[in-house]
Amino acid sequence: MPFDECKAVLTDIGVEELGHLEMVGTIVHQLTRNLTQEQIETAGFDAYFVDHTAGVYPTAASGDPWTAATIQVTGDTIADLTEDLAAEQKARLTYDNILRFCRDDPDVTDVIRFLREREVVHFQRFGEVLELAKEKMNHKNVYLCNPSFDRK
């Protein structure tokens, strides 16, 4: 990110996102730590349990493990901020879908609603940073250059 005014916002969001992982991991741990073998099998949790017991191993609902490959970075400020905006909307949608499944458990839904609200705020902040980056570039069409390298 070539603009100092934007760096703090991006750092703050990044740190908060790591906290989101911790919060979701804690919910998963609290919900699974005392499962019986029968509950594990009935819930279809047995394959996961064989590999990880009730430990928190970050995976998508599809079972795909989290990897750094899910973080899209090109080095182009406009492309990266646009990707960040999309990622926040995808996270919001994921939280919406989680809420559909656990709407009767306030210990889960309260946290998920909080996380969903934060994704909306992050989307707004990324939008502000994108507008600031475009303003700083002084280009009529910011999509014709990579502002990370174009220092004119």
Give the pLDDT confidence of 61-73 residue by residue, as tens digits.
888 888 888 787 8
Q: What is the pLDDT of residue 151?
A: 52
Regions of the chain short of the pLDDT cut 70: 1-2, 139-152
How many Å apart are CA 51 and CA 131, to the nearest integer? 45
- Whether the CB-CB separation of 88 and 123 falls below 8 Å is answered with yes
Token duo for residue 140 = 């009529």
The pair of structure tokens assigned to 58 is 């970050």
Q: What pTM was estimated for this model as a whole?
A: 0.81
How confident is the model at residue 146, as a pLDDT?
A: 63
Question: What is the predicted pLDDT for the residue at 76?
Answer: 82
